[in-house]
Amino acid sequence: ISICRDLPNIEVITFSVNGISDLEPLNQCQNLSELYLRKNNITSLNELFYLKNLPRLRVLWLSENPCCGSDPHRYRMTVLRNLPSLQKLDNQAVTEEELSQALVDGEEITAPPARRSVENGCPESTESSVAESTTETESELLNFSLEETNKIREELGMKPVPRDKFSSFSPRETDCNRKKRNNVLNAILLLMKELDAEGLEIVQQTVGRRLQAFRKKELQEE
């Protein structure tokens, strides 16, 4: 997620199911309009402090993080009090009545969290991690990652990745390696949006050479 510090013009970020706990790298993404963080390890709603100064943020998906707690009303009211420009939270439209109620029931966040994990991703050891305790099957993770990746590709005007092409990302890998690979893929797709035609042609040529090398290696192994 630290790569976001170098992407001030990014508009859509998808980092769901990635063990993320720190949102500080996002506070410079002034053009960010959609942020998907479902099923990570965000433990404190104080992380919203880093999103309060993002003027264009309209869609936030934060559900199934530890910070949501056991009181869904308090959670939603606190998010809306601090991010009143949201139009959709956790795939549910925000109403004017909710925004008014949030001023009463929500908690104002005025400072970043006192303690934050120094790493995002797959730490060597995590105590009482909700992200780890929530077990998902490989198929569920694959379906979600495919959906999120294709959303980014749609934003970039690219064709969706077929499931049979995407499935090669997950077999026989640990959860940590799979998440890291999906992080790299998403980061590459996000960075491509920053490139002009000349830059994209260079990427296309490089990818073509890499694919040829992989195919040649596969044929040799067979």
Q: What is the reported pLDDT for 2?
A: 82
Domains and CATH numbers, the chain: 2-105 (3.80.10.10)
Q: What is the reported pLDDT for 3?
A: 83
Q: Which of 14-43 are b and which e, b meaning 16 or more Cβ less than 10 Å from the residue's Cβ?
A: bbbbbbbbbbbbbbbbeebbbbbbbbbbbb
Q: What is the reported pLDDT for 206?
A: 82
Non-local (6+) Cβ contacts of 67 within 8 A are 42, 43, 44, 45, 47, 75
**E strands, 4-52, where?**
12-14, 34-36
Q: What is the reported pLDDT for 143?
A: 59
pLDDT digit string (tens) for the chain, length 222 residues: 788 888 888 888 888 888 899 999 999 899 999 999 999 999 999 999 999 999 999 999 999 999 999 999 999 999 999 999 999 999 899 999 999 999 999 999 998 887 544 444 444 444 444 434 444 444 555 555 667 667 666 666 667 766 655 544 444 445 556 666 666 777 777 777 777 888 888 888 888 888 788 777 777 776
**Eight-class DSSP state of 30:** T
Q: What is the reported pLDDT for 6?
A: 83
β-partners of residue 61 are: 36
How far, in Å, CA of 107 to CA of 172, rounded? 44
How far, in Å, CA of 175 to CA of 173, rounded? 6
- State both tokens at 45: 């709603």
How far, in Å, CA of 159 to CA of 151, rounded? 10
Q: Which of 140, 148, 153 is nearest to 37 (CA)?
A: 148
How far, in Å, CA of 31 to CA of 9, rounded? 5
Dihedral sign, Cα of residue 14, residue 3, residue 10, residue 109 = positive
Q: Whole-prediction pTM value? A: 0.57
Looking only at the bridges linking them, the beta strands covering 88-89 and 92-93 are antiparallel
